[in-house]
Structure 1
């Protein structure tokens, strides 16, 4: 397995410190939330990240021995973007911003954008699910040529009902990807989200293996893998059985007892699971 860590885990620690710690703990990839590129900014807009800062972040990662996996939390802390809005102006703005994100990702050396951002995709008043799905497909479809230009994959992230009401299952993520109809639009799987489906997580992984481009490891308790009730043996067995060769990124939403402790416990647990399967 290739293990990565989501960089917002370390809060406002300088990238040099956070990335060095990430590598020391055994991770070889770093996944970046765009809003962390502009610390202190009230509103995140990657168009305000100058070329020098982009080159600097890429260098910091390389100096730490990390590969930039890609970006996630794409629309968090932004304004004016919405995946399922019926407003044509908002649709165009969202498409254009996704193009900017694809360019940024490519410049950092990343290969995947994880599209979660439930607060910018949930159903708006008067918009039914099928209409929202068609709007989202149209918004994403127009951006795909730029994704192809930078060789960046958009990975659609289903989220559980606690987060919202649009794209709640892996099946619905695949349906949207099929509507977009581009080799640069695929599926992202997240353990916390899959745990809400009422179907064994291993079965979800196997059923959607052909579409899966990226993977987040965590637990419904918002902590890391092995820190809750979800057992990862069948999850990793399914990933191995389906020849998944992408990244397994740790994404958590609680940071106690400390970011370092969570990152360490998570990777040590996953490495034990992997070693057990190999043995």
Structure 2
């Protein structure tokens, strides 16, 4: 019996129609799809009620679940988490509220917040001040997320992506500042590979607060397509009783869609089968 629930991010399918991506993911053996808003429209505001209904129908027809949303602020303009500009932070908070409504309308309940280009430290803003500003921005949106029954999963990212929230420990610090039951932590194998601590240790230390998990390799391809051994990673997830999604997220599409989709899942199942 499989222990983990596997998902895949929809941008892996690049220019495929969503309907085709959903059916292919289901046929490949995934339990769910994770959606990047920019693949649907320029902003969440542009995904109309009619469009949301049509997408829900396609999801139902494919008989697949929806994790929720990620790449929340990618390819948008005018939003920023850590800016001292109150108006920009207010606008960003309002946008997170709309993302929460979109996530709910599509049947998801997780929003993964990476988006380093909209959170990196601005000139003259210290890390501690950025923490305060980000917490202020996100705290304003939390009542709407709570109402929508959506969890915000803060995603620490490595220094190759940015200079703010580079470790799981920092993610926990921001989570505590936001202080909402609907704000937790997201862990990403590629990002954790940049930390000094071993990945299994990070998982164990973060365990009570993990809402979501991305499976990938530092080479930006799928699990099993690089040097990272996922057996000890999955062993740690098993030991802490993680029962959320394990979702494939890639950034290098050179192996091709079929390989990224099918080989990633085959490798993860192989690793799961090796657990004690």
Bucket of the pairwise TM-score, normalised by the shorter protein: over 0.9
Give unpaired runs (5+ residues) of structure 2: none
Q: Distance in 2 between matches of 1:20 and 1:45?
A: 25
Counterpart of 1:25?
A: 28
**Aligned equivalent of 1:70, options 64, 68, 71:** 68
SS at match of 2:161: coil
The C-alpha deviation readout for 1:68-122, integer Å capped at 9, x for no partner, is 1000000001010000010000010000000000010001110100000000000
Partner of 1:206: 204
**Which residue of structure 1 aligns with residue 57 of structure 2?**
59
State the shift of 1:3 in Å. 0.2
How much does 1:276 deviate?
A: 1.6
Residue of structure 2 aligned with 1:6, choices 6, 9, 12? 9
C-alpha distance in 1 between matches for 2:172 and 2:114: 14
User: What's the CA shift for 1:257?
Assistant: 2.1
Compute the displacement of 1:58 (Å). Answer: 1.5
The 3-state SS of whatever aligns with 1:277 is coil
What CA deviation, in whole Å up to 9, does each residue of 1:158-213 have, x standing for no partner?
00000010000000000000000000000000000000002110000001001100
Say how many residue pairs are matched.
273
Q: Flag as ranges the 4+ runs of structure 1 deviating above 6 A.
A: none
What is the TM-score normalised by the length of structure 2? 0.98
Unaligned runs of 5+ in 1: 39-43
Aligned counterpart, 1:35: 38
Q: Give the CA RMSD over aligned residues.
A: 0.7
How far apart are the structure 2 equivalents of 1:275 and 1:58?
A: 33
1:257 & 1:142 partners in 2: Cα distance?
41
